[in-house]
Structure 1
Amino acid sequence: MPTTRTIEANDRERIRAFLDLRWGGPTIMLDGRAIDAAALPGFIGVDAGGAIAGLVTLLDDAVQSEIVTLDAMRAQTGLGTRLLELAAERARVLGLSRLLTRTTNDNLDALRFYQRRGFRLHRLAAGAIDLEREADPAIPLLGRHGIPLRDEISLVRVLSAD
């Protein structure tokens, strides 16, 4: 398994390139705000050759830490789960009570992944992707599995004080 560690300042340009590849750029829209995911705290997974194998970026407020991006280059290796658990540990250390994430209505793999790791459905923002598409027409009409891409689903995991 790749080694995991906290994101460091000298990782930022590589993270920006990784987000360009995986997300089409480092800017992620959250509730109408443009967030530069490449500038956020988080954790990185690096393979034996030094390439980024996985990444989680986080945005904190007074109550929670939100997963802005979570990627593992190879599925079902345990890296995504490891990065998620590092994010949960960090939130607990910061005294935060929950971990939040969002996905789109077509991302069945993400919905399954998060629910199997203790997340519960929290909020449905019906039409949220339709609104984002008005600002960014490059967002496709059809998502994964031919499902119309329309809505955003938030999931939350309450963190114990362990």
Structure 2
Amino acid sequence: MVLSTGTYDCSSLEGFFSGEPHSITGLVTYVIKPDVIEVISLDSVEQGKGIGSQLMQEVEKEALDRGMKVIELITTNDNLQALKFYQKRGYYLAALFPDAVKKAREKKPSIPLISEDGIPIRDEILLRKELII
């Protein structure tokens, strides 16, 4: 995974999964930073079944258990599903990184120029949620 915050091998990150070890239905990965947990990836086999919500609740619990108050993540401007999903769960748009995907393409040229919805993939958006301890 290539983001403006770094290049990550999701298979080596901390995370949570849903389902059984032989039949995983969802996976969230994250990194621990000094004052924040940064979610790197969130994937589920089926949308609308609560899998992503459950996994994000696990990350929030992990943050609170560690005494951390902030969760952040980055998505791209074309990922309307993610923008909707996270905002419905209390995340807000904290920063815009114009043309950040251009830099990511230097490391990972397979990142498409245009999404399946026809939206040019250009910018990264930082979403943040401040937890109540």
Is the TM-score greater than 0.5?
A: yes
1:146 aligned counterpart, secondary structure: coil
The structure having more radius of gyration, on CA atoms, is: 1
- Specify the alignment match of 1:88 in structure 2: 60
CA displacement at 1:51 relative to structure 2: 1.0
Distance, in Å, in 2 between the alignment partners of 1:155 and 1:76 is 21
Q: When you count helix as a share of all residues, which structure comes out higher?
A: 1
Q: For residues 135 and 63 of structure 1, do their structure 2 counterparts lie closer, same or farther at Cα, with a shift above 3 Å needed? A: same
> Structure 1 stretch 120-129 or stretch 31-40: which is displaced more?
31-40
- For 2:6, the aligned partner's letter is R
Conserved? CA contact 1:107–1:144, under 8 Å: no
Q: Does residue 128 of structure 1 match 2:100? A: yes
8 Å contact kept, 2:38–2:72:
yes
CA shift at 1:31, angstroms? Answer: 2.5
2:14 is matched with which residue: 41, 61, 73? 41
Matches within 5 A, 1:91-106: 91-106=63-78
- 1:62 equivalent among 34, 43, 47: 34
Q: How far apart are 1:52 and its partner, in Å? A: 1.1
Q: Name the count of aligned residue pairs.
A: 133
Q: TM-score, length-normalised on structure 1?
A: 0.78
Question: Identity over the aligned pairs, expressed in percent?
Answer: 37
- RMSD (Å) for aligned C-alpha atoms: 1.4
Is the contact between residue 2 and residue 107 of structure 2 (CA under 8 Å) also seen in structure 1? Answer: no
**8 Å contact kept, 1:106–1:144:** no
In the alignment, the residues of structure 1 paired with residue 107 and residue 62 of structure 2 have an alpha-carbon distance, to the nearest angstrom, of 33
Residues in 2 aligned to 1:32 and 1:77: alpha-carbon distance in whole angstroms: 30
- TM, length-normalised to structure 2: 0.94
| 2:7 maps to amino acid | A
